[in-house]
């Protein structure tokens, strides 16, 4: 039978689970809590951590034409001077993640 756990304690339990190295099932059995409730609180904790992540910084962009550039290519130049070329139609999310990583 599962024991009753108060809501404020769930944040600490979810944090303990993350540090435990156990599977959710193992952790829930060892603590005597419902697996579905643990899963819910771990999800909430991870979602909150994502929301607190560093905000995206926008960088100035200069659009220029170049005789070398192909019309089917997109070139991104990071503030560091690094240049990366992408084929038109490349996933925008991928490009954004790469540019963010280059900016660090």
pLDDT tens digits, one per residue of 1-38: 455 657 778 888 888 998 998 999 999 999 898 999 99
pLDDT tens digits, one per residue of 53-69: 677 778 787 777 665 55
Joined tokens for residue 88 = 């038109």
The pLDDT, as a whole number, for residue 8 is: 72
In angstroms, rounded to a whole number, what is the distance separating the alpha carbons of residues 21 and 3?
22
Joined tokens for residue 13 = 């339990």
Beta bridge partners of 74: 86
Q: φ, ψ for residue 41 (rounded to 5)? A: -75, -35
Among 9, 54, 17, which Cα is nearest to 35's? Answer: 17
| Of 40 and 59, more confident | 40
Joined tokens for residue 19 = 């540090």
Q: φ, ψ for residue 20 (rounded to 5)? A: -75, -30
Domain boundaries, the chain: 7-51, 56-104
Cβ neighbours of 43 (radius 10 Å): 11
């Amino acid at each position: 039978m599962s024991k009753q756990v108060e809501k404020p304690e769930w944040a600490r339990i979810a944090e303990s689970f993350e540090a435990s190295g156990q599977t959710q099932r193992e952790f829930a059995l060892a603590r005597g809590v419902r697996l579905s409730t643990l899963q819910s609180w771990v999800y909430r904790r991870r979602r909150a951590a994502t929301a607190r992540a560093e905000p995206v910084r926008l960088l100035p962009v200069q659009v220029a034409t170049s005789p070398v550039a192909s019309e089917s290519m997109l070139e991104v130049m990071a503030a560091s001077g690094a240049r990366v070329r992408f084929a038109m139609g490349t996933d925008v999310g991928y490009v954004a993640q790469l540019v963010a990583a280059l900016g660090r």
